[in-house]
């Protein structure tokens, strides 16, 4: 390992690893949406739920997903950082 690590970088604790997992879930959702906008806009014009089209539904869904994942992260981090949490 590099000798230039003083002070040590914050190691990837369990909360950090959970954060990374959630981050990659969102990356897939976000860039999946961008790929649809770029290559299959016709899919986004469809109205699978009857009311609003998929473009708006997925836009609102991405905003809701960001909030949901952030709350999951906050709760999960609190659990793993509680006394004995890292051992769970």
Partner 1 sequence: MLYESSPVAIAIFASFVLAVVALSFWLGRKGQSAKGYYAAHGEIHWFINGIAFAGDYLSAASFLGICGMIAFHGFDGFLYSIGFLAGWIVALFVIAEPIKSLGKFTFADALDAKFKSRGIKLSVAISTLVVSIFYLIPQMVGAGDLIVPLLGLPHAVGVILVGVAVTLIVVTAGMVSTTWVQFIKGSLLVFFCGVLTSMILSRGLTVNTGSLEPQTRSVTPDGRVLVDGQPQTRDHDLRPVGTLAALPARYGDATTTGPLGPLEYLSVLEDSRIVTWSGKKSTDASGTHTVFTPTEKAGADLLKPGGYFKGLTTGKLADKLDFASLMLALFCGTASLPHILIRYYTVKDAAAARKSTVVGIAAIGAFYVLTLFLGLGAMTSGALDPTSTNMAAPLLAKSFSETLFAVISAIAFTTVLGTVSGLIMAGSGAVAHDLVENVLRIPMDDAGKVRCGKIAAVGLGIVAMALGILFRNFNVSFLVGWAFNIAASANLPALVMLLFWPRTTKEGIISAVTVGMLASLTWILLSADTFEKVYGLSRDASPVPFSQPGLVTIPLGFLVLIVVSLLTKAEPKGKPA
Packed helices 54-81 and 14-39: angle between N→C axes, nearest 10 degrees: 170
Among the listed residues 28, 32, 34, 79, the single contact to partner 1 using CB under 8 A = 34
Q: What angle do CA 53, 35, 16 make, to 5 degrees?
A: 105
CB of 48 to partner 1, least distance (A): 13
Contact residues toward partner 1 (CB under 8 A) are: 1-7, 9-10, 12, 15-16, 19-20, 22-23, 26, 30, 33-34, 37-38, 41, 44-45, 47, 50-53, 55-56, 59-60, 62-64, 66-67, 69-71, 73-74, 77-78, 81
């Amino acid at each position: 390992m590099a000798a230039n690590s003083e002070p040590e970088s914050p190691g990837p604790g369990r909360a950090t690893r959970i954060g990374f997992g959630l981050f990659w879930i969102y990356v897939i959702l976000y860039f999946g949406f961008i790929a649809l906008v770029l290559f299959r806009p016709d899919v986004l014009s469809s109205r699978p739920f009857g009311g609003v089209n998929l473009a708006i539904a997925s836009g609102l869904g991405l905003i809701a997903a960001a909030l949901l994942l952030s709350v999951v992260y906050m709760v999960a981090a609190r659990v793993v950082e509680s006394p004995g949490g890292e051992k769970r």
